[in-house]
Amino acid sequence: MINVAPSFISDNADDADVKGVATEHVDWHFAKVIGAAHVEIKDSMFSKYPALIAELLSRIWSGRGLVETTGGNLLPVLAGTRHVAAQMQREGVPPASEIHDKPSAKLPMHDGEL
């Protein structure tokens, strides 16, 4: 999952523009390194999402690559999650919320040593 929120991808959120996000963040670091079939774009700045898609489409990205990265890659994961959840329910495995005490502050904390 690629987070393309300006404050996440740049030290100065005002410097993060759509072209830079497409070129440096999505296109280079992810699509060329691991392939579009393994990338999912998450954008908390929905007003810029159409411009980002248009920018990627103006490059070498195919329509299929954009479908994969804008939801298509996540759908098989969700289907697999539903399958595992149904299997665990059949086997009587309780939900994690019933296994762990709440609030989470009661959970053991890592002391920083490895």
107 in any annotated domain: no
8 in any annotated domain: yes
81 in any annotated domain: no
- How many structural domains does the chain have? 1
Instruction: State residue 106's pLDDT score.
Output: 54
85 in any annotated domain: no
Instruction: State residue 44's pLDDT score.
Output: 61
Domain that holds residue 10: 2-70
6 in any annotated domain: yes
- Work out the average pLDDT over 15-33: 70
Instruction: State residue 108's pLDDT score.
Output: 53
39 in any annotated domain: yes
**Each residue of 45-90: pLDDT tens digit?**
567 778 877 887 887 677 777 777 777 777 888 888 899 889 989 9
End-to-end Cα separation, the chain, in angstroms = 28
41 in any annotated domain: yes
Could you give the C-alpha distances from 62 to 3, 24, 103, in angstroms and in order? 21, 18, 46
84 in any annotated domain: no
Statement: residue 114 has pLDDT above 50: no
Average pLDDT of every residue of the chain = 73
- As a whole number of angstroms, the distance between CA 4 and CA 10 comes to 10
